[in-house]
Every structure is written in structure tokens, then in C-alpha cells.
Amino acid sequence: MPMELTQSRIQKIWLPHDNHPALPRRSCGPQLTNSPTVIVMVGLPARGKTYISKKLTRYLNWIGVPTKVFNVGEYRREAVKHYSSYDFFRPDNEEGMNVRKQCALAALRDVKLYLSEEGGQIAVFDATNTTRERRGMVLNFARENGFKVFFIESVCNDPSVVATNVMAVKLSSPDYRDCNSTDAMEDFMNRINCYQASYQPLDPDNYDRDVSLIKVIDVGRRFLVNRVQDHIQSRIVYYLMNIHVQPRTIYLCRHGESEFNLKGKIGGDSGLSNRGKKFASALNKFVEEQNLKDLKIWTSQLKRTIQTAEALKLSYEQWKALNEIDAGVCEEMTYEEIKEKHPEEFALRDQDKYYYRYPSGESYQDLVQRLEPVIMELERQENVLVVCHQAVMRCLLAYFLDKSAAEMPYLKCPLHTVLKLTPVAYGCRVESICLNVEAVNTHRDQTENMNSSQKQS
């Protein structure tokens, strides 16, 4: 007999009609791993391992794959409250070696808990892991627990790049809280030397030929990939091959105020209002003042973003992926009309705005999947201005600011305001610039009738 199905009211997807308990919320995301994966970082200190770990984790969480970083250095700082000098890391310091091993084991216990009991799909084990013995320990741990392993090794032998990384990140570490920069730099370079003596790089041609890995060489100048096992590993490789660390600025803004904005209507393809046209002119002046070299401008394929970009007198590229969220049967309606004609849909969207899918339309979850190619290309580029829409801008902003799915649909992205994003060491600095042209407020706050579990998700 064919299985009976029922359609979920929020997501509009078909589910088995049975008495099984509801799946946890995170199960609504794409299941890209058929078994949990441990990503194991490899490399000498100051090679960008933590940078890669944090950035990759931000990306994976954004696309809906629950991911968490386990930084062994943080476990070590918890175990050893006062750091004295690089002597702690000397290979002949038995006490230090034992403490470091115990910290690695403590981190692996938390990895197991996260992947086995807390719903995680990917754990990033962020440590040097520079010896075959240590990597073998991690491989045995993964084998015993049924986890896949993917190694990411960052290799860089350019002294200037290493020194820049030490100055930018390591000298502000809690290890050097009460130390001047000269002494801190000397101590950290000695710490690197302690690891260098016993460093055994991954060897995909011989010893590690059966291991899944990617070597990132000289901050992305070259890559070496070996035995990619599954879809998620291929996505990780693709992501790592697109990111770069060159200084750049990303500007996000919405189109100028539209005729439908004035009427309170959502969606549609209306043109700019008079104030929207004034904003377009103000945006042109703002862009000229920024004096940016080789600025790329991207718009959606909707009239209001194209009219805004036309005022800039610069070439621009239209992306269908940047079109506003499709409101389906609710397109070109006001919220009052939706509440009157589709009262259940109106209530369902307030109940779970990220996963809610408009009938014959899209959800924020759908929008994230649609925008992934845009994020990939943004990571490849240098200076870019993206002229887009409210829901689209929220999704892009959530990626750069590491916001959760619950926060994403409520991020404030007002009309006639430019957000200037500047990537920094472990995150992104954001500056909000109002161009002083009045516009309607299209933001709807989160309703208070949500249950507490959703508020906390």
C-alpha cells in the first residue's frame, strides 16, 4: 500500500503521516552528510588554521549544516591559567606534552558529544596536529565512533605572511596579555620552532594516500586535493578554493524606495518612487566619494534595483539569484490583505519565519540555497556593491555577521542605508551609512506570541 503523506503547513513539504515524534528543528536543513564528519586542521602555528576553521564553520552553518569549532588552544588556556613562555611547547617538556595531549583528548570527548548527542553534523578539530602520531589518534577516535575525517592542512613558508599573521592575531592572544609586542613576537617565533622540529606534513602520495584531505598552499596560491569522499567534502573544497585574504570592502544596500513600498505591498516589480530616485542619486555621490578601484556592481533582475544602479553611471551585472524572496500567492499584497485573505498563512509565517514557505513561493531557507553562488562569487571578488532587496540583504548579512537562522529574518536592513562590510581577522566589521533621504519603514518586528523554544533556537 502507498504510504499516507501529510503536508507540513509551515514548509509545504510532504511528510509521512504517522505517529513518530517531530524531528528536531535542525533536521529541516539539508542533510549533506550521511555520517558525521570531523574536519581536522593541520599546520604550524600562525598558518591561518583558526581563520579557516571559523570562516568555514560560518559558511557551513549558514547553508544549514550544524557545525562547531573545537579549538584545542582554548582547552589548553583553560587548563594552564598562566602562560610563561615557549618552553611549555618544547618537545622535551614531558609535563607540557602530557597537558597538551590531555587537552586534545578533552576536545575530542566534546566532539563526540556534539556529533552523537547534540545534533551536530560537522566538528572542526582546530589544533596543529603536526605529527602522524597525533593524527593517528584522531583517526582512531573517528573510526571507533563511526565519524568521517577530512584533513585541511595550511602550508605557508613565506616569512612575511607568517609575521603579518602573528602581528595581526597572535600578539593579542590571552597568552601575551601582559607582554610587550617585541617579546611576544620573539616568544611566538620560538614556539613555531618547537613545532617545526617534529612537523610531519601530510603526504598524499605515500603515507596519507588513503586519507581525505586538502592542502592549502601559500594562502590559496595552490591546492592539493586527495580522495574527496562525499558531497559535503566537495563543497568544503570548493569553498576553500574561492576564499582569499586580500583587503577589500563589500557594500550592501537595498534599491531606492519603490512605488510598492509606499503602498505597503510586498514583492512585485514596481519602479522607484520620487524619494527612491533621490536615493539613487545620493548613492551615486556616495560611490564617487569612496574612490574605489575596480568596483563591481551587482543588482537583481527587478526594475527597482536596475533603476537604482542606472543612476551610478557605471557598468553593472544583473543576477537572477538576487531577486527578492518569492511571496507566491501573496505577491503584490499588503500585510493587511494577506491577514484578511490568508489568515492561517499570515499566522504561520510569524510562527517560524525562517522555515515558512509562501504557498507557491519561497522561504528564507530556500533563499539561502539560491544565494550560495552569490556568496561564493563575493568571496572571490574584491570591492563589490550589491544593490538588492530586504530578505536577500538579510541573508547576505547573516552570512558575513555569523547570524543564526532564527535571527536572519529579523535583521534590520532599512531603505536608503548602505552597509559597509570590511572583513577582519576572525570576522567582519560593519558600518551603517544613512544617505539622508527619507523612506518608509518596511521592517516588521518579531511577534511576541512565539513559544520560548523558538526564541532560543
Q: Which of 255, 342, 389, 416 is catalytic?
A: 255
Cα separation, 254 vs 387, whole angstroms: 5
> What distance separates the 2 farthest-apart alpha carbons in the chain?
75
CB neighbours of 156 closer than 8 A, spacing ≥ 6? 43, 47, 48, 162, 217, 218, 219
Smallest CA-to-CA distance from 114 within 60, 67, 78 is with: 67
- 156 is annotated as an active-site residue: yes
Q: Which of 28, 103, 153, 156 is catalytic?
A: 156
Q: Which of 153, 208, 257, 324 is catalytic?
A: 324
Complete DSSP assignment for 64-132: T--EEEEEHHHHHHHHSSS---GGGG-TT-HHHHHHHHHHHHHHHHHHHHHHHHS--SEEEEES---SH
What strand order describes the sheet that includes 122-126? 67-71, 122-126, 37-42, 148-155, 213-217, 222-226
**Other CB atoms closer than 10 Å to residue 29's CB: what's the count?**
18
- 288 is annotated as an active-site residue: no
- What's the angle, vertex CA 164, arms to CA 163 and CA 166, rounded to 5? 65
Q: Which of 103, 126, 257, 362 is catalytic?
A: 126
**Residue 6 grid coordinates:** 501529510
Exposure string over 13-28, b if 16+ CB within 10 A, otherwise e: eeeeeeeeeeeebbeb
Catalytic sites, residue numbers: 126, 156, 255, 324
